[in-house]
Amino acid sequence: MIGFIELGHGDFIIYNADIITMNNNYPYLPKDKTIEYVKEDNPFMAEAKLVRNNYSSDLNHPTGAVVVLNGEIIGRSANQSAIKNKRLLDLHKNGLCIRKILKIPSGKAYWLCPGCASPSHHAESRAVRDALSHQKSIIGADLYLYGHWWCCKPCWDSMINAGIAHVYLVEGATELFK
């Protein structure tokens, strides 16, 4: 069953039994692209969450992603901070973040803070690179991201250039991670 719910202020939801598509006024969304939502118990989303929990070194905003082609996971990764020292990572997590202090919005000026994962170290871009290291082509693959409510422009560029067909977030991502 497919339905459409208008939420007002330009927001809307298109849904079927397993996948929800929302226009959520994201900070960035390429023309003709959508973000779709799946339940947390979706096996690919569950794997993205596991990757995040086990491998992300960005303690402020840990994320994990998997790339799926023909029902098989072909790439996975988590975002990584430029800081490797445990004490400095803890300080960053507990508020010593230049971007937070200056109230820089999500997706902007990563270069200001070495604790924040730069776009090349985001889960989406890393998972795409991992998939491409195993497959010559990933055109038509899907990406499942756990730990964030949108994808930045450099990550979208990476996904589009690789041929990612659909991007999925967990239901409630905006409320969980914004």
Three-state SS letters, 33-58: CCEEEECCCCHHHHHHHHHHHHHCCC
Q: What is the pLDDT of residues 99-123, one digit of tens each?
A: 888 888 877 887 888 877 778 899 9
Residues of the chain with pLDDT under 70: 1-24
Q: Are 115 and 81 in contact (CB under 8 A)?
A: yes
Q: Are 78 and 62 in contact (CB under 8 A)?
A: yes
Predicted confidence at residue 106, as pLDDT, reads 76
**Which segments within 84-175 are labelled E, that is strand?**
142-146, 166-170
Predicted confidence at residue 15, as pLDDT, reads 46
Query: Rounded to an integer, what distance in angstroms lies between the CA atom of residue 16 and that of residue 67?
Result: 22
Q: Are 45 and 38 in contact (CB under 8 A)?
A: yes
Q: What residues pair up with 5 in beta bridges, in sequence order?
A: 13
